[in-house]
Amino acid sequence: MSSSASFMERLGFRKASGVGEAGWGRTLFVAVIAFIYFIPVLFIIFTAIKPQNLALSVPPTLSPTSFFGLIPDQYVFSPTLENFGSVFSRSMTTGGAPEDTGFDRYFFNSIFISSVSVGLALIIGTLAAFGFSRYPLKGNDTYLFIILTTRMLPAIVVIIPIILMFRTVGLSGSYIGIILLYTAFNLAFTIWMMKSFFDELSLDVEDAARIDGSSEVKVFFKICLPQVVAGLAATFVFGLILTWNEFLFALLLSGADTRTVPVAMNQAVSSGGRGTDWTLLAAIETLFLIPVFLVTFFLQNHLLRGVTFGTVKR
């Protein structure tokens, strides 16, 4: 009993929650459904290791192995790692020498822009959330609603003036412009989520520390912040997923040097009028999925708690 309880706690559940236990039967049942749900992703990953000439074969090739004769031979292809190489270097013209595609740069851009803007939004947003939670301003709720409203706006409503603004001041195509934009894009979400976490904390410990003479800065860093690490992790994951795959802003506002992978991917697979390069697209997406997949996997424990926005009371 105690071992299972601690296991559940490691998964982010509290002891008295309504999570019942189920056995391997449930595992099998869920595995089948999760696998079916995962098939389109699996197909993309398998396409990434497919020889290019088999991408559009009829009948479609489905798997790199026959799984001990489970899959008929006509659906099986022999895997290759060539596509991953051609993400970074391939011949752009027929018969030409392999050229650098610049994708190392685009991967760097995606990682750099996403992590800086999500991190920045986390810092600014957490401070603001602490302010909204502990030192309510006059008209606190109005401020919070306006902040939420910026999240409600469709991206397309703000994008026209932002394009104009960036063109006017020379920010289009710069790191600063796109990072600031993504920071704002993540802020509303961060503030609301982190505020709900601060609201849930007990004030007794903080007040005791204040009476003992701790400064407000110390109260924030030594007492409040350690208690909301789960919330920080969850906010980071959600912000990362949204920013990582953002396409519209990146398409319209990033330049040749600051292009992110989604934009570059879109151009790479449809350039030259040869139609979609399926194996290349799959290889790019597979590589592109790995970082965000790993981050989500390792922070998954916090996701379930963080996602509640505090609407679920303890």
Partner 1 sequence: MSSTTATAAPPALMTLAPDNWKLAILVGLAVSVIAAITFPASVSFWIVGAMAALVAAAFVVNAFRRKYYGGLLVAPAIAVLFVMNIFPLLWSLGLSFFAYQSNNQSIRFVGLNNYIKALTNDLAAEANWNALVNTAMFVVFTVAAQMVVGFLLALLFAKQFPLRKYLLILVLTPMMLSVVASGVFFTYYYDPTFGILSYIMGNITGEQFILMDNKLGAVAGIVFADAWMWSPFVMLLVLAGLVSVPKYLYEAAAIDRVSGWRQFWTITFPYIRGLLMLALLFRTIEAFKLADLVILLTKGGNDTMTISYHLIRIANEQNKTSEGAAISYLMLFMVIVLTNLYLYLANRRSHGA
Residues 90-109 that bind partner 1 (CB under 8 A): none
- 219 sits near partner 1 (criterion: CB under 8 A): no
Q: With beta carbons less than 8 A apart as the criterion, state whether 295 and 98 touch.
A: no
Q: Does 22 bind partner 1 (CB under 8 A)?
A: yes
Residues between 285 and 304 that touch partner 1 (CB under 8 A): 285, 288-289, 292-293, 296-297, 300, 303-304
Contact flag: residue 269 with partner 1 (CB under 8 A)? yes
Furthest CA-CA distance within the chain: 77
Residue 18 dihedral angles phi and psi, to the nearest 5°: -85, 20
- Gap between the Cα atoms of 193 and 133, Å rounded: 11
Which one of residues 1, 2, 33, 273 is an interface residue with partner 1 (CB under 8 A)?
33
**Residue in 158, 201, 223, 299 binding partner 1, rule: CB under 8 A:** 158
CA-to-CA dists, residue 174 to 161, 169, 178, 181, 206, angstroms: 17, 11, 7, 11, 42
What is the smallest separation between the CB atom of 220 and partner 1, expressed in angstroms? 9
Write the CB contacts of 191 (distance below 8 Å, at least 6 apart in sequence).
125, 128, 129, 132, 144, 147
Q: Which helix (H) or strand (E) holds 89?
A: strand 89-90
The residue whose two tokens read 């006509």 is 74
Query: Among residues 23, 69, 95, 226, which is the contact residue for partner 1, using CB under 8 A?
Result: 23
Residues 165-194 that bind partner 1 (CB under 8 A): 165, 168-170, 180-181, 183-185, 187-188, 191
Size of the site for partner 1 (CB under 8 A): 109
Should residue 271 be labelled a site residue for partner 1 when binding is judged by CB under 8 A? Answer: no
